[in-house]
Amino acid sequence: MERALGSLRGTTLLSRALAGWLVLVFVVAAAAPQRTVGALALTPGSALPYFYTLMTAGVLEDSLLGLVAGVAVLLSASRVLEPAFGTVGYLRFLSAINLGNGVVLFLAHTAAYAATANPEHLYVQLRGFSGTVAALLVALKAVVPRLPLPNEARPLVTVAALPALTVAMAVTLAAMGIMPRHRALGWVAGAANAWLWLRFVQPQLSSTPLGDEDQLTLASFLQPPAASAGSTGAPGAGGTAAPQLSRTAIDASRKRERGLRALEERLPPPQALGGGAAQ
């Protein structure tokens, strides 16, 4: 019990508040499932009058397994991501991802209805925190290689392969009929939205790079787990991984080398300088 409380003290206030909200909504949904799901879940056929459900659906988790996994990932990831983003930036990231996931689910089911005329696509009740979990894993993949991690967070260096693995697992389970398709779509949407935000939006909001550019290439998501784990760098003292140089640093080094060569070509040779001084 004391160990659990000690781990909880190390988490951020924002992550604890979000985790508390997830637990509260889960309890309310368990007590009054029809009213809670009907009020907070995203139903594509009625999303326009109830547009707020684009946001609330992503924080309505009525699965116990999804709740436990979501709270665990949220509390653990926030210890690294919130200091990197800043509290306001981190809340903005989570809000944008949550809204983006809702929009993607709405558009996907509307397009499916237009293609198949199946009314189930319009009246399915979409909900779940899985999209945000996928986004957090992508953010960890990008941010961890650039940060000096505390001892308790060092195991997170193995997250490089998790986004691709979890998305592939969700798609596989949905294809087998074990997981609802809309939850698998939530995993895909969360990972894609996080990648788009970190790759294109976040650099416009901050002058300091937040993530490692090499960790945000599409090819890096398709590496096997061993290659992804090794790409964080060679092991250093205490078992930590040394971050590799980003593409920007390599380009800057090449520019400096070209500048030095050009300067050497313009300067007279040392023999000429010595001969002039002797005369």
Q: Dig out the tokens for 20 from the structure.
A: 């508390």
Whether 137 contacts 166, CB under 8 Å: yes
- Sign, CA torsion 194/26/15/151: negative
Q: Which stretches of the chain score pLDDT less than 50? A: 1, 5, 218, 222-246, 273, 276-279
pLDDT reported for residue 152: 53
Report the distance separating Cα 66 and Cα 258, nearest Å: 54
Residue 254 pLDDT: 65
pLDDT given for residue 239 in this prediction: 39
pLDDT at 224: 47
Q: What is the C-alpha separation between 129 and 134, in angstroms, rounded?
A: 9
For residue 270, the one-letter residue type is P
Q: Where are the alpha helices (DSSP H) in 46-154?
A: 53-56, 64-85, 87-116, 120-123, 130-143
Q: Is 235 helix (H, G, I), strand (E, B) or coil?
A: strand
pLDDT at 54: 96
Q: Distance between CA atoms of 131 and 215, rounded to whole angstroms?
A: 20
What is each CA distance from 245 to 62, 85, 209, 256, in whole angstroms? 43, 21, 13, 15
pLDDT digits (tens, 9 = 90+) for 85-124: 889 999 999 999 999 999 999 999 999 999 999 999 999 9
Q: Residue 200's pLDDT is what?
A: 86
Residue 275's pLDDT is 52
pLDDT computed for residue 84 by the predictor: 86
pLDDT of residue 10: 74
Q: Report the pLDDT value the prediction gives residue 225, as an integer from 0 to 100.
A: 42
Give the SS3 label for residue 42.
strand
Q: Are 126 and 45 in contact (CB under 8 A)?
A: no
Cβ-contact 127, 37 below 8 angstroms:
yes
Report the distance separating Cα 15 and Cα 92, nearest Å: 13
Tokens of 276: 């002039």
The alpha carbon of residue 171 and the mean position of all alpha carbons in its chain are separated, in whole angstroms, by 18
**CA geometry: angle at 161 spanning 238 and 197, to 5°?**
105
Dihedral pair phi/psi, residue 42, rounded to 5°: -90, 115
pTM, rounded to two decimals: 0.73
